[in-house]
Amino acid sequence: MASPTDITDPALREQMLDADRALDTGEYLGSIQRCADVFERLLRQRPDVFVPPPDLARLSSAPRPPIGGRRGPWPSQFGVQLSLEGEGAEQQPRFTYAKEHFSMTEAAAYFEYTLDALLYAQRTPAPSTT
């Protein structure tokens, strides 16, 4: 089972350990906020890990991402929406909180998604820009 201790970047590992402690102590909003901060930092370092949400107009004919391949999009359905503002290389992630109180299940979903994204980025080379 993956753990924040598997993260090689010391700063990101510490932030995820903080998110884990917040989750364990029932500070669900705090845990989610830490995860959003970590994911935002990850997107700035590795924009290639961003998985856009499916185009709802093409959902029925579009193939699903393979299990174990590319991950799915940020789990906005739990109350924290992720959008990219700006154009091209200048795009910046922005998180919008639809509510103030979250359940343990919702916080755990954001924690697991963020941990998975970090570990994916860690084991997958960044695409070359040349």
Report DSSP letters for 48-100, one per residue: GG--PPP-GGGTTTSPPPPTTSS-----GGGSEEEEEESSGGG-EEEEEES-S
Q: Residue 40: its pLDDT value, please?
A: 94
pLDDT at 41 over 60: yes
Q: What is the pLDDT of residues 42-86, one digit of tens each?
A: 998 888 888 877 653 344 343 444 434 457 889 999 999 998 888
- pLDDT for position 86: 80
Q: Which two tokens stand for residue 101?
A: 């109180």
pLDDT (0 to 100) of residue 16: 97
Average pLDDT, integer, range 96-112: 96
Q: What is the pLDDT of residue 102?
A: 97
pTM confidence score: 0.84
CA 6 – CA 44 distance, rounded (Å): 21
**Res 91: pLDDT:** 78
Q: Model confidence over 3-21: pLDDT tens digits? A: 999 999 999 999 999 999 9
Which residues, in sequence order, are CB contacts of 86 under 8 Å at separation 6+?
92
pLDDT value for 93: 87
Q: What percent of the chain is modeled with pLDDT above 70?
A: 84
What's the pLDDT at 130? Answer: 58
